[in-house]
Amino acid sequence: MITRRPPDVHHGLLAVAVLAALLAGPALLAGQAPQAPAPLPQTPTFKVQVDYVDVDVLVTDKEGRFVRDLTRDDFEVSEDGTRQTIANFSVVDIPIERADRPLFQPDPLEPDVGSNEEPFEGRIYVMILDDVHVDVLRSSRVKAAARQFIQRSLGANDIMAIVHAGGRTDASQEFTSNRRLLLASVDKFMGTKLESITLARSAEYFRQAGTGILDNRIPDPYEQERAYKAQQTLRLLQDVAEWFSGVRGRRKTILFVSEGIDYDISDVIRQFDSPGNAASSIIDDIRQTISATARSNVSIYGIDPRGLSSLSDDTIGVTALADQADASLGIGQSSLRNELQMSQDSLRALADETGGFAALNTNQFATAFDRIVSDNSTYYVLAYYPPTDKRDGKFHRIDVRVTRPGLTVRARRGYMSPKPKAPAKTTGKDAPSPEISEALQSPLKVSGLTMRMFAAPFKGVAPNASVLLGVEVAGRDLTLQPNGKLEVSYLAVDAKGKTHGFQNNSLTMNLKPETRARVQQTGFRILNRIDLPPGRYQLRVATHDTGGKVGSVLFDLDVPDYSKLRFGMSGIVLTSLSGGSMVTAKADDQLRAVLPAPPVAQRAFSQNDEVAVFAEIYDDGTAPPHRVDIVTMIRSDEGTIFFKNEEERDSKELEGKRGGYGYTARIPMSGLKPGPYVLSVEGRSRLGVNVEVIRQIRINVIPADRP
pLDDT at residue 46, as a whole number: 27
State the chain's mean pLDDT as an integer: 83
- DSSP secondary structure letter of residue 359: E
pLDDT at residue 11, as a whole number: 35
Question: pTM for the full model?
Answer: 0.84
Domain 565-707 in CATH 3.40.50.300? The answer is: no
Of the chain, the percentage scoring pLDDT greater than 70 comes to 83
Q: Which of 695, 694, 697, 693 is nearest to 565 (CA)?
A: 693
- Does residue 12 carry a pLDDT above 70? no
3-class secondary structure for 250-281? CCEEEEEECCCCCCCCCCHHHHHHCHHHHHHH
pLDDT at residue 329, as a whole number: 66
Confidence of residue 49 (pLDDT cuts 50, 70, 90): very low
- For the 1-48+435-561 domain, the top CATH level (class) is mainly beta
pLDDT at residue 422, as a whole number: 54
- Does residue 24 carry a pLDDT above 70? no
**How far separated are the first and last CA of the chain, in Å rounded?**
41
pLDDT at residue 159, as a whole number: 94
Burial class (CB in 10 A: 0-12, 13-18, 19+), 62: exposed
pLDDT at residue 22, as a whole number: 43
State the Cα torsion 160-164-167-173 to the nearest 10°. Answer: -30
Strands of the sheet containing 124-129, edge to edge, are: 173-176, 159-164, 124-129, 252-257, 298-303, 358-359
Domain residue limits, the chain: 1-48+435-561, 49-94+378-417, 124-375, 565-707
- Does residue 144 carry a pLDDT above 80? yes
Fold classification of 49-94+378-417 (topology level): Immunoglobulin-like (2.60.40)
Domains 49-94+378-417 and 565-707 share a fold: no
Q: How far apart are CA 290 and CA 279, in angstroms?
A: 17
Integer angstrom CA distances of residue 274 from 24, 119, 256, 277, 279: 45, 53, 29, 5, 8
**How many CB atoms are located within 10 Å of the residue 479 CB?**
13
Q: How far apart are CA 573 and CA 91, in angstroms?
A: 42
pLDDT at residue 277, as a whole number: 62
- Helix axis angle, 197-211 to 312-322, nearest 10°: 30
Sign of CA dihedral 448, 452, 457, 461: negative
**How many CB atoms are located within 10 Å of the residue 500 CB?**
24
Q: Which of 425, 359, 412 is nearest to 382 (CA)?
A: 412
Using only the alpha carbons of the chain, give its radius of gyration.
29
Is the Cβ–Cβ distance between 263 and 224 less than 8 Å? Answer: no
Mean pLDDT score, 679-705 = 89
Cβ neighbours of residue 577 closer than 8 Å, sequence gap 6 or more:
596, 597, 609, 610
- Does residue 27 carry a pLDDT above 50? no
Summarize pLDDT for 155-165 with one digit per residue, the tens.
999 999 999 99
pLDDT at residue 8, as a whole number: 33
pLDDT at residue 214, as a whole number: 63
Summarize pLDDT for 426-439 with one digit per residue, the tens.
455 557 889 999 89
Q: How far apart are CA 340 and CA 133, in angstroms?
A: 12
Is the Cβ–Cβ distance between 604 and 700 less than 8 Å? Answer: yes
Confidence of residue 42 (pLDDT cuts 50, 70, 90): very low
Name the least confident of 23-27, 147-151, 233-237: 23-27
Confidence of residue 52 (pLDDT cuts 50, 70, 90): confident
Integer angstrom CA distances of residue 485 from 32, 69, 445, 525, 586: 17, 48, 21, 14, 16
Mean pLDDT score, 682-697 = 87
* Angle in degrees, CA 81, 87, 88, rounded to 5: 120
pLDDT at residue 354, as a whole number: 87
Q: Which of 622, 641, 612, 613 is nearest to 685 (CA)?
A: 622
Fold classification of 124-375 (topology level): Rossmann fold (3.40.50)
